[in-house]
């Protein structure tokens, strides 16, 4: 029996996720490895490598958890877009074979931190009053940059630039860039544009409104309330994504987002 231990994390709300998890466990044990199945709401440490079965939301939650132990993760998409995943169900045999033979690369992805919250995609700040705009003041390295009257502010990593930030009009950043993008959400001005900054900058969002509360979300999953001043910096943790190197970032843009294609070819 090989001493390497694999985790298999699945999302029980996704059809066939449990069955795919059992299939992977069978294949790993047939190769002489130890393997344990856990669901996304009962994550645990102690693995050398973790398969994540589900959609991008499942991968994001697992990435935040396993980044703290430097554990590589590999996404198998059973969701809709699957932008962060590397394989589909019909690629299981190839994926497991390459991983047990260590024929893969591990790419470190920068993460954000706001207080105790960390995020692989983005930190989003909104006012606590649903449906109302809020006033935000942006500072970088304690120097005032601009004020926004907006529905919120997105601070995204390169990984997250293809998510909420892109929908709000932000640019796409390649994963290897050491930068963050700041995107106002529906700003009440024509001069507010997304801003790309180095990832070693301290980003501060504050308000002059008395007793104003903000809602902060990490990857659209973890929510907390904050007041007055929010500081966002590069997290000391990095997500470690295992890649099979069968496609590059620009291929994924074309295949997943139909980047640059005529609408006639996007059906």
CATH number belonging to domain 5-104+244-265: 3.40.50.10330
Q: Is the pLDDT of residue 244 over 80?
A: yes
Q: Is 56 a catalytic residue?
A: yes
Percentage of residues of the chain with pLDDT beyond 90: 71
Q: State the Cα–Cα distance between residues 63 and 112, nearest whole angstrom.
A: 12
Q: Is the pLDDT of residue 267 over 60?
A: no
Annotated catalytic residue within 39, 56, 122, 151: 56
Options 3.30.200.20, 2.20.28.160, 2.40.50.100, 2.60.200.30; which CATH number does 112-236 get? 2.60.200.30
Average pLDDT for residues 91-102, to the nearest whole number?
A: 93
**Cα-Cα end-to-end distance for the chain:** 48
Q: State the Cα–Cα distance between residues 204 and 226, nearest whole angstrom.
A: 13
Mean pLDDT computed over every residue of the chain:
90
Query: Residue 73's pLDDT is what?
Result: 97
What count of residues does the chain have?
267
Domain ranges of the chain: 5-104+244-265, 112-236
Q: State the Cα–Cα distance between residues 133 and 149, nearest whole angstrom.
A: 6
Beta-bridge partners for 233: 113
Q: Which two tokens stand for residue 189?
A: 């001005």
Which residues have C-beta within 8 Å of that of residue 146, sequence separation ≥ 6?
Answer: 137, 138, 192
Q: Is the pLDDT of residue 128 over 80?
A: no
Query: Residue 9's pLDDT is what?
Result: 97
Q: Is the pLDDT of residue 75 over 90?
A: yes
Q: Is the pLDDT of residue 165 over 90?
A: yes
Q: State the Cα–Cα distance between residues 127 and 251, nearest whole angstrom.
A: 37
Confidence class of residue 131 from pLDDT cuts 50, 70 and 90? Answer: low
H/E run at residue 37: strand 34-39
Distances (CA, A) of 60 to 63, 76, 183, 202, 265: 5, 13, 20, 23, 30
Confidence class of residue 247 from pLDDT cuts 50, 70 and 90? Answer: low
Query: Residue 78's pLDDT is what?
Result: 87
Average pLDDT for residues 246-256, to the nearest whole number?
A: 73
Comparing 144 with 129, the larger pLDDT belongs to: 144
Q: State the Cα–Cα distance between residues 141 and 203, nearest whole angstrom.
A: 7
Q: Is the pLDDT of residue 232 over 90?
A: yes
Q: Which two tokens stand for residue 107?
A: 């790419």
Q: Is the pLDDT of residue 132 over 80?
A: no
Confidence class of residue 262 from pLDDT cuts 50, 70 and 90? Answer: low
Task: Of 256, 259, 199, 204, give the one whose Cα is nearest residue 232.
Answer: 204
Task: Say if CB 92 and CB 76 are below 8 A apart.
Answer: yes
């Amino acid at each position: 029996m090989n001493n390497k231990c694999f985790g298999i994390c699945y999302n029980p709300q996704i059809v066939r996720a449990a069955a795919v998890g059992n299939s992977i466990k069978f294949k790993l044990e047939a190769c002489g490895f130890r393997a344990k199945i856990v669901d996304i709401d009962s994550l645990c440490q102690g693995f050398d490598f973790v398969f994540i079965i589900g959609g991008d939301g499942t991968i994001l939650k697992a990435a935040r958890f396993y980044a703290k132990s430097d554990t590589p993760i590999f996404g198998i998409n059973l969701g809709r877009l699957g932008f962060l995943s590397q394989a589909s169900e019909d690629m299981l045999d190839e994926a497991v074979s390459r991983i047990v033979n260590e024929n893969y690369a591990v790419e470190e992805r920068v993460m954000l931190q706001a207080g105790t919250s960390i995020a692989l995609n983005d930190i989003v700040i909104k006012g606590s009053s649903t449906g109302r705009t809020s006033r935000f003041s942006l500072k970088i390295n304690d120097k005032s940059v601009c004020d926004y009257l907006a529905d919120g502010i997105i601070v995204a990593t390169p990984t997250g630039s293809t998510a909420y930030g892109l929908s709000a009009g932000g640019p796409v950043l390649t994963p290897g860039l050491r930068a963050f993008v700041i995107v106002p959400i529906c700003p009440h001005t024509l001069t507010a544009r997304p801003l790309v900054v180095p990832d070693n900058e301290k980003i501060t969002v504050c308000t002059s409104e008395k007793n104003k509360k903000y809602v902060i979300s990490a990857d659209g999953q973890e929510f907390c309330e904050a007041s007055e001043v929010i500081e966002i910096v590069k997290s000391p943790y990095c997500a470690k994504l295992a890649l099979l190197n069968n496609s590059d970032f620009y291929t994924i843009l074309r295949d997943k987002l139909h980047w640059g294609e005529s609408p006639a070819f996007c059906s």
